[in-house]
Amino acid sequence: MKNVYFDSAATTQIRPEVVDRIKVALEENYGNPSSTHSFGRSSKTLIETARKTIAKYLNASPQEIIFTSGGTEADNMVLRCSVRDLGVTTIITSPIEHHAVLHTVEQLRVESDIKVAYVKLQPCGTPNYDDLEALLKADNSKKLVSLMHVNNEIGNILDVDKVAAICKEYGALFHSDSVQSIGHYEWDVQKTSVDFLAAAAHKFHGPKGIGFTFIRKDSGLKPLIFGGSQERGFRAGTEAVHNVAGLEEAFRLAYDNLEEERSYVEGLKIYFMSALKKVIPEVKFNGNCHETTKSTYTLVNVCLPFDQQKALMLLFHMDLKGISCSKGSACQSGSSKGSHVLRAILSDEDLEKPSLRFSFSKFNTKEEIDYLIQVLHEYANS
C-alpha cells in the first residue's frame, strides 16, 4: 500500500528549508523580542525583517502587517474590531464562507445587534456581483463586505478587483479571507483596494500556529488582545519568533517559485480531471473546478456517481488504501451536518452522492495521481 497526501487545502507539507530556518531561530534567536539586550534585539530584528519581506511582496507598508496565530484569529480580529471600532452596523457576506467568518458574524449579530446580509450565489457558487451591489445600496448603514478570495472547498476564485471597486463606490469596507489564496496568487494591495486580508502559513508549506492580517493603515481599528506593546500595540503577547521565521521563509519561497510551481500543480489538476473522466464518465466537478481560470489550480471537488452504500464506505476505503483527502473541508470532517458549501450549490440528488476534495501541491507526482485513479476506478467497479 502507498501513502499519498491529497489534502493540501487542509494543511500543506512543510518545506525542508522552512524546517531548517525554524531550527536556526529556535537555537539562535531565543531572546524575548521586547528585551533591550542583544538577544532581544536579534529576535526583534528577525520579526521586523519578516514583516518587511511580506509587505514587499504584497506591495504594502510593513506597519500594515500584523502577525497572528493564523487565519481564524485574523478573521475574528477584523470582523469584531470593525463592529466595535468603526461603526459597522451591516456585514455582507456569503453562505459559503469559512466558518471563521460565518460563526463570527453570527455571534456578532447576537452580541451587537448588527444586520447580516448574505449575497446570492450564482449556480456555480460564485457570489452574484449584481446582488452584492443591490445590498450595498439598500440603505445608508456603515457596511463591511467579507468575501473569501478562493473558496476552501470548491476552489472558486472571487473577482476581488471587481468587489473592491464596488465596495469603494458605495463607501463599504472590504475584508477578504485570503487563507487559500496568499502563497498561491499574487496580491497587490495598492492595485486592489481591499481593506483587510487574512493569511495562514500552513497553507503555503509553512508552520501551523502563525499567520498574519493585512490592515490598511489609518483604518481606525484598535487592539483585540490587550497587554504588552507587541505588534505595534495591536496584538499583545510575546511573539513566536521561530514561527515568524518559518512563515517568512515559506512566504518568500512560495512567491519566488510561484510561476514554476503553479504550472506544475495546475498540470497535476488537469491530468487528474482528465484521467478521472475517462474511468468514471459520470463524475461531476463541483463549483468551477473544471474551469482553470475560475477555480484555483490547487484543488478539485468531485461528485461521484455512487449509491449510498458505496458512499458510506468511500472515505474509509480511501484511507485504507493510504490516500488522504477530505469529505468537504477538514474543518467539517467531524461534523454530521456535511458541507454547508455543497448544500448551498448542489441539487438534492447530487447531495445524496459522495463528494470528495482532492488538493495538490509541489510534493505530489503524476504517479501518485495514477494510483488515486486506479483506486477510484476499482472502487467504482467493485
CA distance 269 to 266: 5
Q: Computed over its alpha carbons, how large is the radius of gyration of the chain?
A: 21
Name, in order, each residue with C-beta under 8 angstroms of 374's C-beta and a sequence gap of 6 or more: none
**Domain locations in the chain?**
4-12+258-380, 16-256
CA distance 301 to 309: 20
**What is the mean predicted confidence (pLDDT) over 38-58?**
98
Q: List, for residues 274-327, the tens digit of each pLDDT value.
A: 999 999 999 999 999 999 899 999 999 999 999 888 988 999 999 999 999 998
What proportions of the chain, in percent to the nearest 5, are helix, strand and coil? 45, 15, 40
Quote the mean pLDDT of the chain. 95
pLDDT band at 1 (very low <50, low <70, confident <90, very high): low
pLDDT band at 328 (very low <50, low <70, confident <90, very high): low
Closest CA to 12 of 268, 316, 251: 251
CATH topology of domain 4-12+258-380: Aspartate Aminotransferase, domain 1 (3.90.1150)
- Is the pTM here over 0.85, yes or no? yes
Contact 111, 117 (CB under 8 A): no
**What is the mean predicted confidence (pLDDT) over 39-45?**
97
CA distance 224 to 236: 9
Query: Is 116 in a helix, a strand, or coil?
Result: strand
Question: How would you classify the pairing of strands 299-303 and 284-285?
Answer: antiparallel
Work out the percent of the chain whose per-residue pLDDT is above 70: 97
Tell me: pLDDT of 331 over 70. no
CA distance 82 to 76: 10
Q: Which CATH number fits domain 16-256: 3.40.640.10, 3.30.365.10, 3.30.70.270, 3.40.50.360?
A: 3.40.640.10
Work out the percent of the chain whose per-residue pLDDT is above 90: 92
Q: List, for residues 195-249, the tens digit of each pLDDT value.
A: 999 999 999 999 999 999 999 999 999 998 899 989 988 899 999 999 999 999 9
Contact 184, 204 (CB under 8 A): yes
Q: List, for residues 245-262, the tens digit of each pLDDT value.
A: 999 999 999 999 999 999
Active site residues: 331
Q: How far is Cα of residue 138 from the mean position of the Cα atoms in its chain?
A: 30
For residue 82, what is its C-alpha cell? 470593525
For residue 370, what is its C-alpha cell? 495514477
Query: Is 282 in a helix, a strand, or coil?
Result: coil
